[in-house]
Structures are given as C-alpha cells and as structure tokens.
Chains A and B, each alone.
Chain A
Amino acid sequence: MTREDAAKLLHAYVDGELDAAKNLEVEAYLAGDPAARAACERLREMSAAIRDRADYHAAPASLAARLRASVPAAPEGTRERAGWPRWLGPAAALAAVALLTWGVTLLSLQPGEDERIAREVLASHVRATLGNRLFDVASSDQHTVKPWLSARLAFSPPIAEVSAHGFELRGGRLDYVGGQSVAVLVYQRRQHMVDVFVWPTPAQKRERTSTRDGFNVESLASGGMAFWLVSDLNRNELDDLARLLAANSAAP
C-alpha cells in the first residue's frame, strides 16, 4: 500500500468503515509510517472533540407538543385527496367553480352578520397594533387577566393555558364589537401578535377562516362563547390556537 492509498482510506479507517481485509492493510501500512500514525491520532482527537464539545440541539418541548397537536388533523385531507381517482380532478374543479360562484352570489347578496363582525375585529386589531396599545392589562398570568376582564364585563372569558404550545399570553383589553362589550385576549407567537375576541353566544359554530388585507381571521363558537382570532400569523398556526381555544372552552 502506498502513502496515497493509505491517505485515501485513513478517514474510513478511523470511522470503522473499512472491511476486514482493507482494515488489515491499513494497519500494516501504519505500523511502518509514524507520521501517518500521528495523523490518525489527530483524526481521532478531532472526532472526539466534536462528539464531546459540539452542541447537541435537542428539540424544544413546545415543538413536540405542537407536532402532537397538528399531526392527526392535518394529513387526513391530503390522504383523501391522494386516493381520489384521476377523473375526479376536472370534475372537482368544475364543482368548485360552481360552488364558488354560488358562494360569491350569496355573499354579495348578503353581507351578513359574520362579514360585519370580521370587519370590526380586523379594524380593532389594526388600531391596537398601529397605536401600540394592545392591552389594558398586561400580564402573562391568566389569574391576573381573567379577573381584570371579568370585573369590567357582564361575563367571564375563558382563558386557555397554551404556553406549552408556543403561544404566550401577553395581556387583555376591552373593546366594542357587534353592539356589545367584548374581551380581547392578546397572545404572542414569535414576533406575531394574535388578538382573540371573546363574547358569549348561544350558537355552536365550526371554524371559519378568511384572509383580508394580509391578516388571517378565524372564527368559531364553542362552550357558549364566540371566538374571533385575528393575526398576521400564518393560517396553520392560527388554526392550532383556534383548536386549543375550542378544546379548552368545550371542557367542563
């Protein structure tokens, strides 16, 4: 074995990646070349240094929680879609156009209660962000925020403990939406602020999402409360929060 050959195999030798025959050849060569033995030693030290001293970044607990929350719900739709026969593509597109036209007609005929509320909560969110007056009570402690709001409203808004899922409570404020006083809970995710408007409603409503002016607006009703979420946060993560709020509110 030449020096060149040995040089080519040295890393694989140190990494224990050579087969038995090649391993013996390299060992035989090393026995006669002290400089190569020293090089080999240095490689081992380098390897040990990385193993011992380089940071190992374990996943933060919040990420695991976020995944457990989002994994079961997200892929069901995609699974179904993957299983659709091919001819359904154009048919579905046609049906979607038909539905859309019908929906747009309905919407344009009937701006409706939801449309009006969506506009009001969005305006409130933008006003608060622009004026940098996001909360009347600033606290990450729900036991501070909740009594403060309850004392000023005719109802007591449920406040979900969602920091384990990556949403930090930052505070709360009062506002006036749809002709009544409502609670606004302010959550933060990374640099995004999420306003959650809460008021009592007898209705039970599934989630609805829309995008306007670059903001995502999501609404649902659960456990006797209506929730309207407004944020520049992406839709998926806003969905996560909506689900958590619904679960919290539905719990006895």
Chain B
Amino acid sequence: MDPVSERKRRFEQLVLPHLDAAFNLARWLTRNDHDAQDVVQEAMLRAFRFLDGLRGEAKPWLLAIVRNSCFTWLQVNRPAELAAFDDRTELHLVDESTPEAFVVRQCDRRMLNEALAALSAQFREALILRELEDLSYKEIAHITDVPIGTVMSRLARGRRLLAESLRAISNASQVHE
C-alpha cells in the first residue's frame, strides 16, 4: 500500500473514532456549533499531518491537538475569557452548611448546562474531560498541558464553582416564578 493511503487507513482506524469526543470538547470550549466545527476540522487536519507523532493512546493525543486549537481560537475570539483566569491552589472541603446538595439533586438539564457553560474554560475543560470523557488525571494533565496536581485542584475548584453557580441559577429562577 502506498504511504498516503496507509496513513489514511491509520487515521480512519485510530483517530476518526474519536471525532465525537473531539467535537464535544470543542463545542463545550467554543460554546457554539459553527465554531466548534471549524476548529475541529482544522484540528483533524493537523492530526492527520502529525500522525507519525502518535504513540500510545489516540484519544488523549487527539484531544490535546483539539484543545490547543480551541485555546488558540479562544485567544483570538474570546481573549477576555482567558485573561480572567488564575490558578489558585488551595482546596476546601465544601462547606457543610450550604444547601448545595439539594440544588445538585434538583437541578435540571438546562440549569446544569448553563452553569457548566458559565465556568472558566480551564475548569470547564477539566470537568468535561473527567466526567463526560471519563479520562484519568494523568490523561487530562497531558491534554491540558499542566501538572497532575493542577488537574486535581481545577477539578476541585470547578466542582465548587459549579455548585455555587447552580445555586445562583436556582435562586434566580425561583425569583422569576
């Protein structure tokens, strides 16, 4: 088989099966369908070009490329979103007195999606990769290019902020009703 069709076969076998994961991540980061499609298409073409660099698992490898494309896109199109972010390291136990448990149990699909979309991109991507793609801390660290400890603290803070945001959304919708 000639090298080009061999490469294409490898790409279709190893990389294309993860197209849904690629789109899901890009869609959550860009927050709209059109831009996610453009970003994913560009990222997939880059993945095809760099296919020789693929060692080990294809999914984290591809998602690292998609994630990079997304952040480049965010830097150009939503610079304010990235500028506001800082990685604080302290971890807290969720304060027992808050009614968050109730809010999490009661929240519906719309509220949850809204709260997730409102998080900083860095928290959002950590939660999406962990909960929707079921990736390990090590894989998430590789994809997002930070140490494992940072993944852990982003997940912790992300979950706390999500709970707070859910509570705010739930209070707001009660006021409206």
Contact = CB atoms under 8 A, between A and B. Distances in A.
A184 interface: no
Question: Main SS of chain A's interface residues?
Answer: helix
Nearest to A78: B49
Contact of A8 (B7, B34, B91, B155): B91
Given A17-B136, A56-B24, A63-B41, 20 more contacts: A7-B91, A10-B93, A11-B152, A15-B137, A39-B96, A42-B100, A42-B104, A49-B105, A49-B112, A50-B127, A51-B131, A57-B23, A58-B23, A58-B24, A59-B19, A59-B20, A64-B19, A72-B8, A75-B48, A79-B3
Given A49-B104, A79-B4, A7 B40 contact: no
Interface string B85-115: 0000001111010001100110111001100
Nearest to A6: B93
Nearest to A166: B37
B100 to A, nearest CB: 6
Contacts, number: 127
Contacts of B163: 42, 46
Contacts of B81: none
B22 interface: yes
B89 to A, nearest CB: 10
Contact of B48 (A39, A60, A71): A71
Interface in B60-76: none
B132 A60 contact: no
B27 A70 contact: no
B143 interface: no
B24 A53 contact: no
Interface of A: 3, 6-8, 10-12, 15, 17, 35-36, 38-39, 41-43, 45-47, 49-51, 53-60, 63-64, 66-67, 70-72, 74-76, 78-79, 190
A11 B152 CA distance: 7
11 contacts: A10-B156, A11-B155, A17-B137, A36-B93, A45-B105, A56-B24, A57-B27, A58-B20, A58-B24, A59-B19, A63-B40
A-B CB proximity, top 9 nearest: A59-B23, A57-B27, A50-B131, A7-B93, A58-B20, A59-B19, A11-B156, A53-B112, A57-B24
Contacts of A74: 45, 48
Q: How large is the interface on B (under 10, 10 to 19, 20 to 34, 35 or more residues)?
A: 35 or more
Contacts of B136: 17
Nearest to A59: B23
Given A11-B152, A39-B94, A71 B8 contact: yes
B116 interface: yes
A75 B48 CA distance: 7
B112 A54 contact: yes
A57 B28 contact: yes
B93 A39 contact: yes
A49 B106 CA distance: 10
Contacts of B49: 75, 78-79
B104 to A, nearest CB: 5
B121 interface: no
Contacts of A76: 4
Contact of A55 (B4, B8, B109): B109
Contact of A70 (B16, B45, B92): B45
B102 to A, nearest CB: 10
A169 to B, nearest CB: 20
A7 B157 CA distance: 12
B142 interface: no
A65 to B, nearest CB: 11
Contact of B33 (A39, A46, A60): A60
A53 B20 contact: no
B113 A55 contact: yes
Q: Pick the most buried of A47, A54, A56, A70: most chain B CB atoms within 10 A of its CB.
A: A54
